[in-house]
Amino acid sequence: MAEEFDKVAVLRRTQYFQDMTYRHLSSLAECLVYKDFADGEILANEGEPRAKAFFIVQGEVQRTKLVDGQKMVIDVAKTGTCLGLLHLLNEDPSFATATAVGQVKVFYLGSKEFSKVLVDEPLLSRAFTYTLAKKVRQFSKILPKQDHSTDSKPRVVLYDSKSYWVQQFNRVNEAENLGFEIHYVNERLSPATATLAEGAVAVICFVNDDASAASLRILADVGVQMISMRCAGYDRVDLQASRAFGLLVTRVPAYSPYAVAEHAMSLCLSLNRHLCRASQRTREYDFRLEGLLGFDMYGKTVGVLGTGRIGQIFIDICLGFGCKIIAYDKFPSKALIEAGNVQYVTQEQVLANSDVISLHAPLLPETHHMINDATIATMKQGVIIINCGRGGLIDTKALIRGLTSGHVGGAGLDVYENESEYFFADPSAHVVQDQDLSLLLQFPNVILTAHQAFFTQEGVGEIARVSLNNVKKFVEGATYQTHPNVVKCD
């Protein structure tokens, strides 16, 4: 019932009305009309003229848009959200279809009623204009300075920049005469920083950038047309939203698979032979061997989950040590099968029969937390787990329990499921609030590197080359259907 809601409070909850006086809000509140929507009921249809704004007071509203005949989810608006503020000023067609998720309660304000109040209350009109002006001013303050010269170089914005990215991207841009104007932003992409890409044809993002629907909407609003991921993974990109907003997404499918595979083996050997502890001891003139006993890699069974290019190179390295290889992949490699030195088995068999397990699978809903309490329980006592793939492949709490019990003999990790707050930065002057991360770092049989497996001269150089050439192909006319490195939305 409408009586259970304070209409003035409903208006004040939204950012565009929160600074107005009670008198002004009371005048608007008299125009609010209450309405219930059942699950699945449509509040607004894409493309249909609309002359009202909705204020959600209870429930959630899903916004979808048709792209190539498919319904794409843009976002889900929650309690306290105002949908369609600008429809108070015009009757333009709705950008998207708004559908109730469960029971939804809203107040709506019609454009005619709003216009009448503005005429009757000149001070309210001034207050509303002032509020909009403040928002525009906040937007303009964080826009980068633009070069208004006649130079027509395509502008590209690279987020989460570091000195090594600047060096390599500038080198490739100059060496290959690509002609881009590259603007480097230290901050990661997020809804708060997306406006920094104003005027850019493309943004170049990394593994921990927030390419959520909220960020993508702003990117599209400021004219960005493409997202070039400078990595192979794209799990932090809302692909449905990218299609809905007309943003092409590309990736670097292979930069230096050797770098990642070699790093995985480095972690394995360092764990097995206790190299970190041994090095620290000798630096302190402690030359004992107690606690440093390892095992021969020769003859051991290594299980590989994911046999793409990186997984295949890791297998080649293991074969050089004389290991027996068992592997699982949803799409087995024909080359590995024909070579005859790798046995494809089920995922369960890999987990149960391996002395070392190395993860090279993509992060998908079906692979999320593939290493968990249940799967660890099936593994060999003392198993070594290596992860240079995606942090979300491992349930960290389950891994900690396995390490604590001794069932897991060691873990070599280059990724961590909650790494985004810490990796590629220096939070050493602050107390780490992530208890799981703190616990992991206390285990002597855990080696954690900060997502550096890709970090070789060859790897970083190839990432820069492919990322910029992905943008070049787009500028030259490559589309969702024709770009060789496009990320498809299933």
Helix, strand, coil percentages (3-state) for the chain, rounded to 5, are 35, 20, 40
Secondary structure class of 141 (helix, strand, coil): helix
217, 236, 451, 465: the active-site residue: 451
CA 369 from centre of chain = 17
Q: How far apart are CA 389 and CA 310, in angstroms?
A: 9
**Stretch (H or E) spanning 21:** none
Q: How far apart are CA 388 and CA 390, in angstroms?
A: 7
390, 417, 462, 465: the active-site residue: 390
Secondary structure class of 113 (helix, strand, coil): helix
Token pair of 233, please? Answer: 């993974």
Residue 419 known to be catalytic? yes
Q: How far apart are CA 379 and CA 374, in angstroms?
A: 9
155, 419, 462, 465: the active-site residue: 419
Q: How far apart are CA 252 and CA 471, in angstroms?
A: 11
Query: Which is nearest to 342 in space by CA: 312, 362, 321, 385?
Result: 312
Asked if residue 363 lies in contact with residue 390, where contact means CB atoms within 8 angstroms, the answer is: yes
284 φ/ψ sector (left φ>0, alpha ψ -120 to 50, else beta): alpha
Give the pairing type, strands 52-67 and 70-77: antiparallel
Query: Which is nearest to 392 in space by CA: 326, 307, 447, 451?
Result: 451
Q: C-alpha angle 181/186/192, rounded to 5°?
A: 100
Query: Which is nearest to 197 in space by CA: 189, 186, 206?
Result: 189
Instruction: Provide CB contacts within 8 A for 301, sequence distance 6+.
Output: 323, 324, 325, 326, 353, 354, 355, 356
Based on C-alpha coordinates, what's the Rg of the chain? 27
Instruction: Provide CB contacts within 8 A for 118, sequence distance 6+.
Output: 124, 125, 128
Handedness of CA 434, 439, 441, 445 (dihedral sign): negative
Residue 407 known to be catalytic? no
Catalytic residues: 390, 419, 451
